[in-house]
């Protein structure tokens, strides 16, 4: 069931989104060569807690950390680790959720560690720009498939592939609500978007094959060919005037 939020609920969701976006920005400022993904997770955890919220991902279906930290060929759901150190030239996707006053925010961003290859930068740019292009068209009256189509077209026309096994989603009292928001689809298909809907749009874009494997830890999702993947996500609210990005930092 797709829930529609009241303006009072949207204020609370902006509060959750602000903390989520702030935690991501703090992560971006902290990232440096030699840092462990465990230490990066601590930065995010401490930011969220210091702002009176709870990390949405911690213990979610048993996930052991506050953020998903996914390096290079890890697409999503990377588990932070004391032994995994960031290296110059890595790209690192950080996915964060914050829960406060009964509502969640959900946002992700891929960061560069030092200087990265032009190929890695181009993949990151395409992924981020496809998210912004989708947000641009999100307004009452269109359908979820219109958003999906924009993301797919943007990335595939640049030679990238779209992960199909994982999708965006509604956000609210639950971290994952209806509807599903795939990064592939047809214009004019899927649920109609109305005022008060809150969705997370989250392109997961691969340099090579769209196929992914889940590691035996049950979480870590890697590209099947070992090539790079990027991930950007915002939680947005649909207003009469278009989309409001709830997870922008101040
Ligand atoms: Mg997320
Ligand atoms: Mg999400």
- Phi, psi values for residue 175, rounded to 5°: -65, -40
Q: Of 50, 48, 82, 83, which is closest to residue 66 (Cα–Cα)?
A: 48
Q: Please list, in sequence order, all residues whose beta carbon lies within 8 angstroms of the beta carbon of residue 9, skipping any fewer than 6 positions away.
A: 103, 172
Cα-atom radius of gyration of the chain, to the nearest Å?
Answer: 17
30 C-alpha to ligand 1 centroid (Å): 19
Decide: 47 and 133 in contact? Cβ < 8 Å: no
Q: What is the pLDDT of residue 250?
A: 87
96 C-alpha to ligand 1 centroid (Å): 6
171 C-alpha to ligand 2 centroid (Å): 8
Residue found by looking up tokens 């989309």 in the block: 243
What pTM, to 2 d.p., does this model score? 0.98
| Total residues belonging to the chain | 250
169 C-alpha to ligand 2 centroid (Å): 6
161 C-alpha to ligand 1 centroid (Å): 19
Domains present along the chain, CATH in parentheses? 7-245 (3.90.230.10)
Tokens of 246: 């709830």
Q: What is the pLDDT of residue 91?
A: 98
Q: Rounded to the nearest 5 degrees, what angle is found at the Cα of 245, between the Cα atoms of 222 and 121?
A: 40
Decide: 246 and 232 in contact? Cβ < 8 Å: no
Q: What is the pLDDT of residue 78?
A: 98
Measured CA distances, 147 to 124, 136, 180, 234 (Å) = 19, 9, 11, 13
Smallest-distance ligand from the CA of 56: 1
> Using one digit for the tens of pLDDT, what is the confidence trace for 36-75?
999 999 999 999 999 999 999 999 999 999 999 999 999 9
Task: Give the Cα separation of 209 and 161 in Å (integer).
Answer: 6
Q: Rounded to the nearest 5 degrees, what angle is found at the Cα of 58, between the Cα atoms of 94 and 167?
A: 55
pLDDT per residue of the chain (250 residues) written in tens, 0 to 9: 999 999 999 999 999 999 999 999 999 999 999 999 999 999 999 999 999 999 999 999 999 999 999 999 999 999 999 999 999 999 999 999 999 999 999 999 999 999 999 999 999 999 999 999 999 999 999 999 999 999 999 999 999 999 999 999 999 999 999 999 999 999 999 999 999 999 999 999 999 999 999 999 999 999 999 999 999 999 999 999 999 999 999 8
Instruction: State the sign of the Cα–Cα–Cα–Cα dihedral 146, 240, 125, 30.
Output: negative
Smallest-distance ligand from the CA of 181: 2
**How far is CA 69 from its chain centroid?**
11
Q: Of 249, 222, 250, 220, which is closest to residue 234 (Cα–Cα)?
A: 249
Q: Please list, in sequence order, all residues whose beta carbon lies within 8 angstroms of the beta carbon of residue 163, skipping any fewer than 6 positions away.
A: 75, 183, 204, 205, 206, 210, 212, 229
Decide: 170 and 13 in contact? Cβ < 8 Å: no
């Amino acid at each position: 069931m797709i829930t529609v939020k009241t303006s009072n609920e949207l204020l609370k969701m902006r509060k959750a989104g602000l903390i989520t976006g702030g935690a991501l920005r703090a992560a971006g400022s902290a990232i440096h060569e030699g840092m462990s993904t465990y230490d990066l997770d601590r930065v995010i955890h401490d930011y969220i807690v210091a702002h009176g919220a709870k990390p949405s991902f911690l213990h979610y279906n048993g996930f052991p950390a506050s953020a998903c930290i996914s390096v290079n060929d890890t697409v999503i759901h990377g588990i932070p680790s004391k032994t995994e150190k960031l290296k110059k030239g890595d790209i690192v996707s950080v996915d964060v959720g914050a829960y406060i006053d009964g509502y969640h925010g959900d946002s992700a961003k891929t960061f560069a560690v030092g200087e990265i290859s032009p190929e890695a930068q181009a993949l990151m740019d395409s992924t981020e720009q496809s998210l912004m292009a989708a947000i641009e068209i999100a307004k009452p009256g269109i359908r979820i498939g219109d958003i999906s189509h924009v993301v797919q077209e943007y990335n595939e026309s640049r030679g990238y592939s779209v992960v199909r096994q994982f999708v965006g989603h509604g956000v609210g009292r639950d971290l994952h609500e209806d509807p599903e928001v795939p990064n592939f689809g047809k214009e004019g298909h899927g649920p109609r978007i109305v005022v008060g809907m809150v969705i997370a749009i989250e392109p997961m874009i691969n340099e090579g094959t769209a196929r992914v494997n889940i590691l035996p830890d049950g979480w870590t999702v890697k590209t099947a060919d070992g090539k790079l993947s990027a991930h950007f996500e915002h939680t947005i609210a649909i207003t009469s005037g278009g989309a409001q990005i709830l997870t922008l930092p101040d």
